[in-house]
Chains A and B, each alone.
Chain A
Amino acid sequence: MTNFRLGSGRRRGTRRLPGPFVILTFLAPALVLYGVIFLWPVATAMTNGFFSWAGTARGPFVGLDNFATLMGLEPYASQFSRALLNNLVFFVGTMVVQNGVGLILAFLLVGRIRGKRFFQTVISVPYLMSALVIGYAWSMMLSPQFGSLNALLKQFGIEPIAWLGTPELIMPILILINAWQWIGVTMLIFGAGLAGIPAESLEAARIDGASSLRIAWSIQLPQLVPSVTIVTILTLIGCFNVFDLIFAIGGSSGGVGGAADVMGTLFYRLSFSNSPNAYGLSGAFSLIQLLLILLVTVGALRILRRVERRFS
Chain B
Amino acid sequence: MTRRIGIYVVLIVAAVLSALPNLLVLIGSLRPNADIIANPTGVPTSLYFGNYVRAWEEGSIGTYFVNSLGVSAASLALALALFLPASYAIGRWRFKGAGVVLALFLLGLMVPLKIGIIPLVQMYDQWGLIDNPVGLVLIYTAQAGPLMVLILSTFYRQLPDSIEEAALIDGASPFQTFLRVMTPLMKPAIASAVILSIGPIWNDFFMPLVLIRSDANFTIPVGISSFFGEYGADRGMLFAGIVIAVAPVVFFFVLAMRQIVGGLTAGIEK
Contacts and interface: CB of A to CB of B under 8 A. Distances in A.
| A and B assemble together | yes
B184 interface: no
Nearest to A12: B161
Contact of B267 (A120, A230, A290): A230
A166 to B, nearest CB: 20
A40 interface: yes
Contact of A113 (B11, B83, B145): B11
A31 B41 contact: no
A34 B142 contact: yes
Given A117-B257, A128-B253, A133 B115 contact: no
B217 interface: no
Given A108-B11, A124-B253, A243-B114, A9 B154 contact: yes
B123 A130 contact: no
B268 A2 contact: yes
Given A6-B267, A41-B113, A130-B246, A105 B93 contact: no
A120 B14 CA distance: 10
A59 interface: no
Contacts of A104: 10
Nearest to A147: B40
A175 to B, nearest CB: 15
A37 B7 CA distance: 49
A162 interface: no
Nearest to A230: B267
Nearest to A35: B104
Interface in A39-95: 39-45, 48, 56
A131 B164 CA distance: 43
B174 A141 contact: no
Contacts of B47: none
A26 B145 contact: no
B123 A41 contact: yes
Contacts of B210: 272
A125 B261 contact: no
Contacts of B161: 12-13, 15
A13 B168 CA distance: 16
Given A26-B178, A37-B142, A48-B118, A123 B269 contact: no
Contact of B111 (A40, A125, A151, A290): A290
Interface stretch (A17-25, A202-210, A214-222): A17-25
B168 A241 contact: no
B171 interface: no
Contacts of A267: 114-115
A303 interface: no
A132 B221 contact: yes
Contacts of B128: none
B153 interface: yes
B245 interface: yes
A115 B39 CA distance: 34
A44 B86 contact: no
A1 B269 contact: yes
B238 interface: yes
B269 A3 contact: yes
A133 B246 contact: yes
Contacts of B119: 40-41, 44-45, 48
A68 B157 CA distance: 47
Contacts of A248: 225
Contacts of B74: none
B18 A16 contact: no
A307 interface: no
B113 A42 contact: yes
A243 B101 contact: no
Nearest to B144: A34
Nearest to A125: B250
A223 to B, nearest CB: 10
Interface string B232-267: 000100110010011001101110010011001101
A108 B9 CA distance: 11
Contacts of B17: 180
B19 A125 contact: yes
A39 B240 CA distance: 39
B108 A34 contact: yes
Contact of A23 (B28, B95, B205): B95
A15 B168 CA distance: 11
A2 B269 CA distance: 6
Which among A31, A140, A180, A282 has the greatest number of chain B C-beta atoms within 10 A? A140
6 contacts: A27-B86, A30-B149, A122-B15, A126-B18, A131-B203, A137-B22
Interface of B: 7, 10-11, 14-15, 17-19, 21-22, 24-25, 28, 36-37, 39-41, 81-83, 85-86, 88-90, 92-95, 98-99, 101-102, 104-120, 122-123, 138-139, 141-143, 145, 149-150, 153-154, 157-158, 161, 164-165, 168, 174-175, 178, 199, 202-203, 205-206, 210, 221, 224-225, 228, 235, 238-239, 242, 245-246, 249-250, 252-254, 257, 260-261, 264-265, 267-270
Interface of A: 1-4, 6-7, 9-10, 12-13, 15-18, 20, 22-23, 25-27, 29-31, 33-34, 37-45, 48, 56, 101, 104-105, 108-109, 113, 115, 117-133, 136-138, 140-141, 146-148, 150-152, 180, 183-185, 188-189, 191-193, 196, 226-227, 230, 237, 241, 243-244, 247-248, 264, 267-268, 271-272, 279, 282-283, 286, 289-290, 293-294, 297
